Amino acid sequence: MKDIYRINWETNPTCNEDCTFCFATFNLPRETGAVGEGTENFRSPLNTLEAKMLIDSAHEIGAKEFLFGGGDPFIRKDMPDLIGYADELGLKTIVDTNCLILATREGLLEAVAPHIGRIGIPFDGSDPKTNDYMRSKQGAYRKQLKVLRASESYDYEVKVNTIVTKQNAKSIPDIARLLADSKVDRWSLDQFIPQGRGETNARKYSIDDSDYFAVVEAAKEVAAQVGATFEISGGDIETKTGTVLMFSPQGVAYIPDCSDKLYIGSIRYMTLRKILQAATHFDAGKHMRRYVE
């Protein structure tokens, strides 16, 4: 069986933001070719028990991390329970959130913080105007910043996620100034991938490899100037291709591959071991180098 370090699950078929560069699956395409397609519950989101089954499966095959992705995982009412469940199994829980609910629901961050290994917070601009334009949500920057500041009180790691596009490229290096005095362990600068909603907006957001790498170098220079201590990581499309095993909100496994998504099968009808065996486009060695080395 292929070694796997992290399982990624997109938790919701809907989102409370409307980022037009987003790669998330949300609703499945009409035809996927995945095992289980055509069955009655193939297109319904995983319920709590099924989500725990996916978490159990990740633990059983030796995965070390489980990522709860969004948009916003906290749209699901059972998310605190699922985060706690993964933590109890010994998985490092990673929560990527747009912060809209986490910043406003009283006591939520305090409740889940002890069970989170790392939180991912998006910043797609160095100022409210650029960030909120990118995320199509007025007030998003303020809520992201609120969670970032609140995170200083907790033990989990903080990773800031930025999608590098043609639209926000000039603003990105100055994000380093924003993050320099905050509790940030890593800043991930990822090249825009034309998938999901982003596929229909590729002309607007696509950035050449050379321009992408120039933005990363400029960000590193500014970070050094302001004395930032966080690691800067990320990757272009080629670096990331074949390295991630994703599950849609409905529990359908797929491999992101450049501008395509290669669907394998539903966790309702295939074991995780069989999914990995069938994942011919999943590069286990590349995956382990990305997440472990």
Q: Note the pLDDT of residue 1.
A: 65
Rounded average pLDDT over 245-249: 94
| Confidence category of residue 70, pLDDT binned at 50, 70, 90 | confident
* pLDDT surpassing 70 at residue 258: no
* pTM tops 0.85, yes or no: yes
Residue 135 lies in a domain: yes
Rounded average pLDDT over 35-63: 96
Q: Contact 277/35 with Cβ under 8 angstroms?
A: no
Rounded average pLDDT over 197-205: 88
Residue 276 lies in a domain: yes
Residue 143 lies in a domain: yes
Q: Note the pLDDT of residue 141.
A: 97
Residue 56 lies in a domain: yes
Residue 208 lies in a domain: yes
Q: Note the pLDDT of residue 152.
A: 96
**Nearest 10 degrees: CA dihedral of 32, 34, 38, 39?**
-140
CATH code, 225: 3.20.20.70
Residue 1 lies in a domain: no
Rounded average pLDDT over 166-173: 95
Q: What is the DSSP string of 29-66?
A: PS----BTTTSTTTTSPP-HHHHHHHHHHHHHTT--EE
Residue 59 lies in a domain: yes
Q: Note the pLDDT of residue 259.
A: 62
pLDDT, averaged across the chain? 93
Cα 280 to Cα 278: distance, rounded to the nearest angstrom:
6
Q: What is the DSSP string of 173-224?
A: GGHHHHHTTS--SEEEEEE----GGGGGGHHHH---HHHHHHHHHHHHHHHH
Q: Note the pLDDT of residue 193.
A: 85
Q: Of the candidates 202, 132, 119, which has an alpha carbon nearest to the alpha carbon of residue 168?
A: 132
- Domain tally, the chain: 1
Range of the domain at 176: 6-291
Rounded average pLDDT over 230-253: 85
